[in-house]
């Protein structure tokens, strides 16, 4: 078990070496946060001052917090594992004395732990200086919100792991990645709050793990969900996490058998 904390630390160190990329990403998140805040505040203003419980200050805060969590949660999928499947390097991962899924999960938690501050603080600071932030005054939302954020990172990892494992059966997964990115952009609440969705789209989002990746931690952090409702949302997150991790293990086992049959 000592290998996994070491892998988490290694993931932290790995991403801490990309200082220029981190700074560029923080700048991009801040710029897009300003654009998103202007759009959401304008939408609320044109709707009469409130939309689904969001006033202009809350809408602006939502925009800045989504940009702050975008990198740590890793809403968009990469193809790192898929490339290892395509080149055959995944065989090395399968031969190592650690579980491939748990090892990758630990590394991703290390990545998220590093990016939380350097990628998350700049958008929040810019938001505080420009539109202001409507934040809760009690500590409870922040404590439970950080827990929900950690689970959100894990849910995102489990979903991205599944997407990458389709490479065992597909020659090229770029189409799957594009579809995943489109769905994640909309259904996580990255573009607009899920509460703003029409009923049919809100029902569709609720039937997927995407709101658990971004909308749930934001609702808890901003105290839009408190008490029993916050715990219910955390329970939904944990349910999706368990289901996605189990599906990932089943898919990895099936892919490993296919790799052996193919002589990889």
- pTM for this structure? 0.92
Using N-to-C axis directions, what is the helix angle for 174-187 and 140-165, rounded to 10°? 160
Rounded average pLDDT per 10-residue block, the chain, 264 residues: 85 89 92 93 86 90 95 90 86 86 94 93 94 90 95 97 92 90 94 93 95 96 91 96 96 81 44
pLDDT for position 263: 45
pLDDT the model gives residue 262: 45
Tokens of 40: 């959401």
DSSP state, residue 98: S
Query: What is the pLDDT at residue 29?
Result: 92
Whether residue 93 contacts residue 84, with contact meaning beta carbons closer than 8 Å, is answered with yes
Break the chain into its structural domains and give their ranges. 3-261
Q: Which residue in 223, 16, 37 sits closest to 129, CA to CA? A: 37
Residue 231: its pLDDT value, please?
95
């Amino acid at each position: 078990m000592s290998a996994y904390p070491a892998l988490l630390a290694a993931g932290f160190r790995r991403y801490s070496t990309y200082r220029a990329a981190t700074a560029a990403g923080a700048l991009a998140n801040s710029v897009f946060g300003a654009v998103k805040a202007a759009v959401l505040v304008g939408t609320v203003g044109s709707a009469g001052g409130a939309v689904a419980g969001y006033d202009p200050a809350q809408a602006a805060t939502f925009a800045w917090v989504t940009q702050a969590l975008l990198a740590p949660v890793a809403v968009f999928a990469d193809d790192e594992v898929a490339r290892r499947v395509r080149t055959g390097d995944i065989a090395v991962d399968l031969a190592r004395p650690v579980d491939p899924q748990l090892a990758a999960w630990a590394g991703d938690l290390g990545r998220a732990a590093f990016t939380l501050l350097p990628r998350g603080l700049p958008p929040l600071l810019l938001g505080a200086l420009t539109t202001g932030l409507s934040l809760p005054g009690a500590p409870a939302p922040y404590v439970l919100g950080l827990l929900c954020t950690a689970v959100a990172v894990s849910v995102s990892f489990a979903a991205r792991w599944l997407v990458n494992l389709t490479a065992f059966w597909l020659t090229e997964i770029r189409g799957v990645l594009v579809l995943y990115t489109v769905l994640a952009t909309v259904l996580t609440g990255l573009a607009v709050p899920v509460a703003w969705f029409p009923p049919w789209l809100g029902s569709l989002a609720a039937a997927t793990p995407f709101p658990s990746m971004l909308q749930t931690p934001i609702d808890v952090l901003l105290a839009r969900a408190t008490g029993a409702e916050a715990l219910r949302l955390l329970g939904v997150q944990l349910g999706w996490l368990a289901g996605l991790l189990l599906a990932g293990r089943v898919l990895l086992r099936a892919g490993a058998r296919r790799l052996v049959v193919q002589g990889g």
